[in-house]
Structure formats: structure tokens, C-alpha cells
Amino acid sequence: MRDEGADKKWKNWLMIDARLPRTSYVLRIFVGFYLFYIDYNIWSGLREEGVHGQPLVILAGVFFILIGIYCIGTGAYALQKKEYKEGDSQEESIREKKEKEED
């Protein structure tokens, strides 16, 4: 079995927190796909004649690919492992306020 310390370190590196709602991971996946879309436009723009600063544009394209893979991978991993908070955040805040009032 895996060591819990190593698993926690892995989750910290992936920025996965069980306190985050499910929607944050879904949005992370959408951001990753949007970065792929931007990257596609960057690469198709490189084919046009007269493009200046190609090394910088290529570097930006590679950066967007890497960040997009990271976003999609971490979001999918968290959703697959169910590493998110269940329920609506508004419901949680209302419950917490009621609990504080009862104490």
C-alpha cells in the first residue's frame, strides 16, 4: 500500500483538496480544454506568413499545452477519486451558521 504521507504530498503537488467543491474540478477541466483551444489557434497562426517572434510564440504554445494537460489531469484525477466536498457551498455555510448559533 502507498504511504499516506506520500499520497498527501502528491495531492498537494496536484493542488487537490477535499474541501473544494466538485465544480472547481469541473471548471479546471474546462480551463484545460480552453487552453488547448488557444494553443490550436496559436499553432494555426504560426502557419501564416509574416509572423514575427516565432520562438516566443512556440514557447507560449508549449506552455499552454503543459498547463492544459495539468488542468485536465488534476481535475479528472480528483473527480475520479472523489476528492471533493459534497453538497452546495451555500447549504454548508447555512448549516455552519446554524451550528454556531446553537452553540
**Total number of domains in the chain:** 1
- Residue 10, in any domain of the structure: no
Give me the mean pLDDT over the 29-47 stretch.
Answer: 88
- Residue 16, in any domain of the structure: no
Paired strand residues for 21: 85
- Residue 8, in any domain of the structure: no
- Residue 98, in any domain of the structure: yes
Residue 87 has what DSSP assignment?
Answer: S
- Residue 96 pLDDT > 80, yes or no? no
- Containing structural domain, residue 54: 21-102
Cα distances from 15 to residues 11, 38, 61, 81, 95, in angstroms, run 6, 23, 23, 14, 26
Integer Cα distance of 68 and 34 in angstroms: 8
Grid cell digits, residue 41? 489557434
Residue 34 is predicted with a pLDDT of 94
Answer whether 0.85 is exceeded by the pTM. no
